[in-house]
Amino acid sequence: MIRKGIFAFLIAISAVLDADAFTVTIDGARDVNFMDLVNAANGADKLIFRNSIINMNVGDMATVPIEISGNVVFLIQNVNTVDNYILFANASGNIPNVGVINPGLFNVQTYRDGDAVMLAILRNTDYADMLGGGRGQFLNNARSASSNSRLLAQLDNAGSFAELNYIVNNSVAFRPGRLMRPIKILSQAYQAGHRVYNMDGTLNPISIIGDEISVYSNLLTMTAATRDMNFGIYLRHGYFDNDGLDEFSGQFTGGGIHAAIYRDIFHISILAGIDYARFETLAIYDGYGGQVYDPSGFAGHAVLDMGAKVLDINEFFIMPMLRIYGFYGKVLYDDYTDVTFAAGVRTGYATSDLGIITEYSLYGLAEAMPSGAQAGIRVDMIAPRDSVGGWMDLGVMKNDLGVFYKIGAGLRYLF
C-alpha cells in the first residue's frame, strides 16, 4: 500500500507465466501525479487505471500500454496550448473522463481514434457562465441575434481571461463613452498649429485618417478684436467612422468660444466648446443585460495655450509652447475623459511679395498623460488689401489610439 496525503491507492502486481512480465494496477487513487505512476510502472507490460482521479499535465506521456477500467478521471492543466492532442497512444478499455484544473476559457472532450485516446479542446463561448451578470447575458443574446459578430469573433479567439477582459474593457459595446474617441481626436488636432487673426472669419475643412478611425469636419469661426485681445465663436459639423474592434459611425454638431491675448513676443489663448453626437452602432450593453442601438451623447473640450517668442529676427521666429488639453464625453452611463499636457515649439518664416504675406511654419508637440506627439507643416497666405487669405495644414498625430494623418485647408476673410 502506498499513501499520498490522506488518500490511498493500491498497486497490484499480477504474476504471469513469464517471470519477467507483470502489470501494475492503480485502484482508488486520488491526488496522484500521472508521471509518478508511469515511472513506478517502468518495465511493466500494462498500466491499469481503475476508479481513480489522476493529476496530469499536457506533455505527460505513458511509456507502457494503458488500460482504463471503471470511472477514471484525469485532471489536466494548460489545455489552451493544444488541440486534438494524443492523450494515450496505446490504450484499451473505457474512454476516460478528463477534467480541467482552473478551466477558464476552455473545456475538453476525449474520444477514441483506433488504439489512441485523443483530447479535443473546446473553447467555452457561454459568456454568461464565464463573465456572469448582465454583460455575459448580453453577449449570449448578441450571438443568438447574430449581432456584434466582429466583437464576438475577437472574444472567441481570446487565449486567456486577461485578453478577454482587455477586449471587453476596450469595446464600445461595454464602454459606450469610447464612441466619443473620434471627436476627441478632432478636438485635439484643431489646436496644433492654430492661429487666430484679428477681426476675421474662416471656413476650415479638415480630414483626419487613421488605421481604424477617420474624421471629417467643417469649422466656421468668427473673431473680433479689441487692442491686444481677440475673442470669438466657432461652429463645427462633421462625421466619422470606426472600423476596428468595433464598427460604428456617426455625426456631430458643436461649437464654442475662444479668446486670446497677444503681445509682441507672448500670447495666451483659451478655447472651450461642446458637441452633440449621434451614433450608428450595433448592440450596446445598456448596463442591465439589455441592448441599445444608435445612442447619442455629449462631449466637452477645452485647451489652454501659451507661447513666447525666443527669437524674432528678419521675419524668422522660434516660439516654444505649452498646452493643457482636456476632454470629457458621455454616452449612456459611461464617461470618457482625457487630460493631456504638452510642450513643443513653433518656428516659421514670413515673406511679403506683391501685397501677399506668406508664412511657412513647422510645429511639433510632445504630449504626456497619455504620451503622444503631433507635428506638421503649415502655409498661410494673406492679402490684406483684398481682405482675403487662406492656408493649408498637413500633420501627423500619435497617441494612445494610434497614428493619424491630418489634412486641413481654409479660407479667411478679414474684416
Say which residues have a Cβ less than 8 Å from residue 4's Cβ, sequence separation at least 6: 29, 30, 31, 32
Grid coordinates representing 113 are 481514434
- The rounded distance, in Å, linking the Cα atoms of 282 and 292 is 8
pLDDT per position as a tens digit, 187-212: 888 755 455 556 788 899 999 999 89
Phi (first) and psi of residue 123, to 5 degrees: -75, 125
- The rounded distance, in Å, linking the Cα atoms of 95 and 46 is 16
- The rounded distance, in Å, linking the Cα atoms of 211 and 402 is 7
pLDDT per position as a tens digit, 252-293: 999 999 888 877 788 888 999 999 999 999 999 988 878 899
Other residues' Cβ atoms within 10 Å of the Cβ of residue 5: 8
Grid coordinates representing 100 are 480541467
Share of residues in the chain with pLDDT > 70 (%): 90
Domain boundaries, the chain: 2-123, 127-170, 176-414
Are 256 and 271 in contact by the 8 Å Cβ rule? The answer is: yes
Are 191 and 302 in contact by the 8 Å Cβ rule? The answer is: no
Residue ranges in 83-242 assigned as alpha helix (H): 127-130, 133-144, 149-156, 161-170, 181-191
- CATH H superfamily, domain 176-414: Autotransporter beta-domain (2.40.128.130)
pLDDT per position as a tens digit, 333-388: 999 999 989 999 999 998 988 889 899 999 999 988 778 899 999 998 988 887 88
Query: Which band of pLDDT confidence, cut at 50, 70 and 90, is reported for residue 93?
Result: confident
- The rounded distance, in Å, linking the Cα atoms of 145 and 133 is 19
- The rounded distance, in Å, linking the Cα atoms of 362 and 366 is 14
- The rounded distance, in Å, linking the Cα atoms of 299 and 186 is 12
Query: Which band of pLDDT confidence, cut at 50, 70 and 90, is reported for residue 228?
Result: confident
Grid coordinates representing 114 are 483506433
